[in-house]
Amino acid sequence: MASETNKKPLIQIKDLYKVFGKKSESVMPLVREGLSKDDILAKTGHTVGLKAINLDINKGEIFVIMGLSGSGKSTLIRHFNRLIDPSEGQILVEGIDVMKLNTKELEIFRRKKMAMVFQRFGLMPHRNVQDNVAYGLSVQGVDKATRAEKAKQWLETVGLAGYEKQYPSQLSGGQQQRVGLARALCTDAEILLMDEAFSALDPLIRSEMQDQLVELQKELNKTIIFITHDLDEALRIGDRIAILKDGELIQLGEPVDILLNPADDYVEAFVKDVNRPRALTVSTVMKPPAYRLTAETIGGALEEMRRIPANYAYYMTDDGFQGVVCEKALENAAQSDEEGLMEEFKVEDMSSLSPDAPLESIIPETMKSKFPLPVVDDDGDLQGVLSREDLAEVLSGFNRVETDGETQIENNDK
Amino acid sequence: MADSSWLNTFPKMDRVDLLEIRKYLDGAFRDFSREYGDDLEVFFSPLLDFLIWFEKLLVQSPWWAVLLSITALVYVASRSWKLSLSVVVSFMLIGYFGMWEDTMRTLSIITVCTMLAIILGVPIGILMSRSDRTQSVVTPVLDVMQTMPAFVYLIPVVMLLGIGKVPGVIAVVIYAIPPVIRLTNLGIRLVDKEVLEAATAYGANKMQRLLGVQLPLASPTIMAGINQTIMMALGMVVIASMIGVKGLGQPVLKSITNQYFTLGLFNGLAIVALAIIFDRASQAYAKRSQKHLQDGHNG
C-alpha cells in the first residue's frame, strides 16, 4: 500500500520532545541545542526520551515504529493516547490536538478512538476471557447483553470461540495475546496501538499472529501503529517503517527503502540480519529490460540484435512478452530467409517471473538459467529482468544495491 | 555543680523546667478534655449505641441460634465442613466451661473493631497508595501506633471519654488498624503496571480503575492485612479490659491479680479459639475468592 500524500494524515506528531526527570523544562534548551542523550544525563540527571519527532500516519496503514530497547519506541506509542505527556510538541488526531483535551474528554477520546495491545498482554487476571474482551465496552457503560454478544463475536474472529469462561491464567501466551487483540478490536476504535504485541511470543506463534493481523487488517482496514524491535516483523507487516535510535527518528520509509537504502550504519546493522530472500520481492531487485526486439521480420530483428552489446534479447510484440531470442539462432534463420516473419521464427520458450514473488521462491529458477530471467506482470508486459549475478549480489549481503540510472529501485532517501 | 561536669554527666534539663513542661502539657490536655469531652462523647454515642445493641444481640439470643448462625457464616465463607465442625465443638466447650457470655461480648467488640478498622483503614491505604507524600507522612504515624505501648495512649483516651466500651474500641482500633492500612497501600502499589495502563488506555476513569482493577488485584494483600488486624485486635482484648471492656479479658486480668492459673488458662484458650476461627475462616474465604489468580499453568 502506497502512502497517499494528497490526503490529510490521520495522526500527526509535530516536534515532539520528551525529557524524563524532575525539572524537564530546564533541560529543554540543552536538548534543542543538540547535546547527546549521554551528555544530558551526565550533566543534569535527566533522560531524553524523545527528540524532535515528526510523523504523519495515514488512515488505513500499518505504521511500524522500530528500535532497540531504550530507543524510545514504547515512550512514543504512549504519547498517542497520552499515557505519557510530552515535554513539548503537538499530537493531532483527525486534526484534534490531543494535548488540549481535559481529563473527561481524554477518557472519551481513549474509549472511542484508540485501542491498545500490550507486550505482556495486560489482561485482568480476575476477569474471565469474555469480560476481558468486553472491558472497553464495560468502561463505556454498554449493557451486559451487547457486551457478551460482541465479545463472543470477536473471540470467534481471533479463533478463541469456546474460551469465554476461562481465566487468562489458564491460557497459553499466544491465546492470551489473542484475547488482548480481541479486546482491542471489540471497541471498534479506528486506531490500534500495538506495543511490542508479539514480542513475548515464541517464534512460531509470532509469525502465526503476524499473518492473522495482516489478514484481519485486509478486512478491517484499521490504522495500526505497531511497535517492534524485530526488523523481520517490521518488514513483514509494515506499510511504512520508522526507525528510532536514542529517541531520534533515523529513517522513515517503506520496507524496501529501509532494506536497500539504510540511512546510516545503525540501520545498516539492523538490515544485515534480515532474511532478505523472504523480505524482498522480484520487483525490488530486477533491472530494466535492456535488450528487446520488436522487429516484425527476422532480418530486422537481426539488425536490432547487432546493435546491442549482448547476444540474446527478449522478443516483444503488441501482445506482450513472447520469449528469448539468441543471436546465433537468429543468424541461422536469416541465412535461409531474411524476409521471414518473426512470428514464424521459433523463439526459445522461457519461464518468466512475477514481480510480486518473494526472492526465496525464485532462487532455483534464476540460478539455473544462463540468461537473466524476464519479469512479466499479470498483463504480460515485460517489467524487467533478473540475472543470477544480480540475485547473488543482493543475497550475499551487499548492503547497497547499485543505484545508478539503470536500477528501478525507488531511491527517495529521507 | 561546676560547669565542667557536663563531660562526666549528661547535660540534662533542669528538673524544674521539665516539671513545668509536664505540668503545662497535662494542664492543656486536661483543659481540652474538660472543654470537648462531652462533645466527643456525643460524637461517639452512635457507636456506643451500636456496640450495646450488637452485644445484647449476641448475649441475649438463645445460644443455639447464635451458634447456628456463626457456624453458617463460617461455612459460607470457607465452604469447609471440617472448619465448621471445629467451630461447633469449640463453642460447645466454651459454653460448657461457663465462658459463653464473656465470649459473646468479646466477639461483639472484635467484630465492631474489625469493621471499623476496615472502614477507616482501606480508604487511608488507598490515599497512601495514590501519593508518595501521603505515604511518607502516614508511615511514621503507623510506626508510632504499632510500637507505642498501648497503656500510653489509653491514658488520654480514658481522660477524654472515661472508662467503658467506646474508649476500649478506640484503643483496640488504634492498635489493630496499621496492618490493614499498610497492606492496602502495598497491595495497590504492587498491582501490575501494565494491567492498570490497559485500563487507562481503554478510557477507565479513576473510580473505574480503583474498583475494577486496583482493589480486586490488591485484594489478596488487603485480605492478609485484614487477617492481621483481626489477630491484633484479639490480642488487645486483655489490655482493653483494663479500661472496662467486658469480655474474656476481664477474667484474665482477674486471674493475673489473684494468681488464678486455671481461670486465666481457660479464658486465654477461649481467646485463642476465637482467633483461630477468625483466621481460618477469613483465609479460606480469601483463598476461595482468588482461586483463578493462583491456579494458572502459565504463571
Q: What pLDDT does B297 receive?
A: 44
> How close does chain B come to A25, measured CA to CA in Å?
22
Could you give the residue ranges of the DSSP H alpha helices within A103-229? 103-112, 129-133, 135-140, 144-157, 173-186, 203-220
Can you give the residue range of the structural domain that contains B249? 107-289
Asked if residue B36 is part of any domain, the answer here is no
Tens of pLDDT, residues B157-197: 888 888 888 999 999 999 999 999 999 999 999 999 999 99
Reply yes or no on whether the pLDDT at A6 is more than 70.
no
Interface of B with A (CB under 8 A): 192, 194-195, 197-205, 208, 212-213, 216-217, 290, 292-293, 295-299
Per-residue pLDDT of chain B (299 residues; tens, 9 = 90+): 456 677 888 888 888 999 999 999 999 988 988 888 888 889 999 999 999 999 999 999 999 999 999 999 999 988 889 999 999 999 999 999 999 999 999 999 999 999 999 999 999 999 999 999 999 999 999 999 888 888 888 888 888 888 888 999 999 999 999 999 999 999 999 999 999 999 999 999 999 999 999 999 999 899 999 999 999 999 888 888 888 888 999 999 899 899 999 999 999 999 999 999 999 998 888 888 776 665 544 43
* Grid cell listed for A186: 471489540
**What Rg do the C-alpha atoms of chain B give, in angstroms?**
23
**Cβ–Cβ below 8 Å for A120 and B194:** yes
Under a CB-based contact definition with an 8 Å cutoff, are residues A79 and A13 in contact? yes
Q: What pLDDT does A411 receive?
A: 39
By C-alpha distance, the chain A residue nearest B291 is: A126
* Grid cell listed for A159: 479463533
By C-alpha distance, the chain B residue nearest A183 is: B202
Q: What pLDDT does A265 receive?
A: 87
Asked if residue B71 is part of any domain, the answer here is no
Number of domains in chain B: 1
Q: What pLDDT does A402 receive?
A: 43
Asked if residue B74 is part of any domain, the answer here is no
| Highest-scoring range by mean pLDDT, A272-281, A329-338, A395-404, B280-289 | B280-289
Asked if residue B93 is part of any domain, the answer here is no
Q: What pLDDT does A299 receive?
A: 79
Tens of pLDDT, residues A246-269: 888 999 999 888 888 888 888 888
Tens of pLDDT, residues A328-358: 777 777 777 777 777 667 666 677 788 888 8
Give Cβ neighbours of residue A391 (< 8 Å, ≥ 6 apart).
A285, A359, A363, A366, A367
**Cβ–Cβ below 8 Å for B299 and A169:** yes
Asked if residue B15 is part of any domain, the answer here is no
Under a CB-based contact definition with an 8 Å cutoff, are residues A177 and A129 in contact? no
| Domains of chain A listed by start with CATH number | 61-81+101-275 (3.40.50.300), 283-395 (3.10.580.10)
Asked if residue B142 is part of any domain, the answer here is yes
The CATH number linked to B195 is 1.10.3720.10
User: Whole-angstrom Cα distance, residue A168 to residue A182?
Assistant: 13
Reply yes or no on whether the pLDDT at A43 is more than 70.
yes
Cβ-based contacts of B203 with chain A (< 8 Å): 107-112, 136, 139-140
Under a CB-based contact definition with an 8 Å cutoff, are residues B162 and B109 in contact? no
Asked if residue B163 is part of any domain, the answer here is yes
Under a CB-based contact definition with an 8 Å cutoff, are residues B229 and B180 in contact? yes
Under a CB-based contact definition with an 8 Å cutoff, are residues B114 and B234 in contact? no
Reply yes or no on whether the pLDDT at A100 is more than 80.
yes
Q: What pLDDT does B157 receive?
A: 85
Question: Model pTM?
Answer: 0.78
Q: B175: part of which helix (H) or strand (E)? A: helix B165-189
Exposed / middle / buried, residue A89 (Cβ in 10 Å: 0-12, 13-18, 19+) = middle
Give Cβ neighbours of residue B246 (< 8 Å, ≥ 6 apart).
B102, B105
Asked if residue B125 is part of any domain, the answer here is yes
**Cβ–Cβ below 8 Å for B194 and A171:** no
Selecting from A126, A136, A171 the residue whose C-beta is nearest the C-beta of B202 gives: A136
Q: A62: part of which helix (H) or strand (E)? A: strand A62-66
Alpha carbon distances (Å) from B217 to A146, A179, B114, B155: 26, 19, 22, 40
* Partners of residue A316 on adjacent β-strands: A321
Tens of pLDDT, residues B79-116: 889 999 999 999 999 999 999 999 999 999 999 999 99
Prediction ipTM score = 0.78
The count of residues in chain A is 414
